[in-house]
Chain A
Amino acid sequence: GAVVSQHPSWVICKSGTSVKIECRSLDFQATTMFWYRQFPKQSLMLMATSNEGSKATYEQGVEKDKFLINHASLTLSTLTVTSAHPEDSSFYICSARDARATARAKNIQYFGAGTRLSVL
C-alpha cells in the first residue's frame, strides 16, 4: 500500500516552454502533498505544500508564478514549471501523506520516484 506515482520520470524541453508533472496517490487519499527539488548530491529542498481544494503554500524564495501547483482532487497534485529555463533543470520529487492514517503513520510521507527535468 501507500504508493505514489509520479509522471513523467524524465522530461527534456526547450527553454521557454512549460512542463507539467503529475503526482498521484494510488491507493490512499492525500489531502496534503509536498513538492521538493533536489540538486545533484544534495538534500531535498521543500518548494511548496499542496492542499486539496485550496491554494498551495510556497516556501520562502520559491516563485509561485513560476511553479504552479494544483491539487484538484484527493489523489492528484500537479506542478507546472512555466516558461522553463536551464536553471530550472533539476530533480523534482513529490510526496503525500495518507489523510486517513492514524497516530504514528499520519506523519509519514510517501514519495514518488521523481522527475528529472532538463531544459535546453
Chain B
Amino acid sequence: SQQGEEDPQALSIQEGENATMNCSYKTSINNLQWYRQNSGRGLVHLILIRSNEREKHSGRLRVTLDTSKKSSSLLITASRAADTASYFCATDGSNTGKLIFGQGTTLQVKP
C-alpha cells in the first residue's frame, strides 16, 4: 500500500524560481529517496537521504529529512523548463529493498 503523501499535488512556477515539494510517510524508514519521472517514461534517481541524516545536497537539489515528523522536502533552486516532470519520494523501511512511493508532485516550470 502507498504510505507516502506528497504536497502539493501540482506546482507551477516560472523559470528561475525555486520549487519546494514535501513528502510525509507513516512508518519508520532506513532511508528516503527522491525520483523524477518525465511523462510516459521511467523514473530517475535523484538523491538518497539516510534516516540518520538531516540534509543532503546535490547540485541544485536540497533534501531535508525530519524523522520526528516523518517528513521530507525536496527543494529545486533556480528551476529550469527542463525540470518539468513528476517528482516522487520513496521510502525504504525494510531489508527487502522494496520502495514505497508517494503520490507524487507534478512540477511545471514555465519558460
The answer to whether A and B assemble together is: yes
Chain A residues in the interface with B (C-beta under 8 A): 4, 6, 32, 34, 41-46, 49, 57, 91, 93, 95, 97, 104, 107-114, 116
> B60 within 8 Å of A by Cβ?
no
- The total of interchain contacts (Cβ-Cβ below 8 angstroms) comes to 61
Q: How far is the CA of A81 from the CA of B48 in the complex (A)?
A: 32
Please give the number of chain B residues whose Cβ is less than 8 angstroms from any Cβ of chain A in the complex.
26
Which residues of chain B come closer than 8 Å to A32, judged between CB atoms?
97
Which residues of chain A come closer than 8 Å to B42, judged between CB atoms?
4, 6, 93, 95, 111-114
Provide 26 A-B residue pairs closer than 8 Å at the C-beta atoms, listed in order of the A residue: A42-B103, A42-B104, A43-B2, A43-B88, A43-B102, A43-B104, A44-B101, A45-B2, A46-B98, A46-B99, A49-B96, A49-B97, A49-B98, A57-B96, A91-B40, A104-B31, A104-B48, A107-B31, A107-B33, A108-B48, A109-B45, A111-B43, A111-B44, A113-B41, A114-B40, A114-B42
- Looking at the assembled complex, report how far the CB atom of B53 sits from the nearest CB atom of chain A, in whole angstroms: 10
Flag if B101 contacts A97 (CB, 8 Å).
Answer: no
- With A43-B88, A49-B98 already in contact, the answer to whether A108 and B2 are too (CB < 8 A) is no
Chain B residues in the interface with A (C-beta under 8 A): 2, 4, 30-31, 33, 35, 40-45, 48, 50, 88, 92, 96-104, 106
Which residues of chain A come closer than 8 Å to B104, judged between CB atoms?
42-43
- With A32-B97, A46-B98, A108-B33 already in contact, the answer to whether A95 and B43 are too (CB < 8 A) is yes
Q: How far is the CA of A58 from the CA of B102 in the complex (A)?
A: 20
Q: How far is the CA of A116 from the CA of B96 in the complex (A)?
A: 27
- With A43-B103, A44-B88 already in contact, the answer to whether A114 and B48 are too (CB < 8 A) is no
Q: Which residue of B lies closest to A2 (CB)?
A: B45
Q: How far is the CA of A57 from the CA of B41 in the complex (A)?
A: 25
Q: How far is the CA of A30 from the CA of B99 in the complex (A)?
A: 16
Q: How far is the CA of A116 from the CA of B40 in the complex (A)?
A: 8
Which residues of chain B come closer than 8 Å to A42, judged between CB atoms?
103-104
- Looking at the assembled complex, report how far the CB atom of A85 sits from the nearest CB atom of chain B, in whole angstroms: 23
Flag if A43 contacts B101 (CB, 8 Å).
Answer: yes
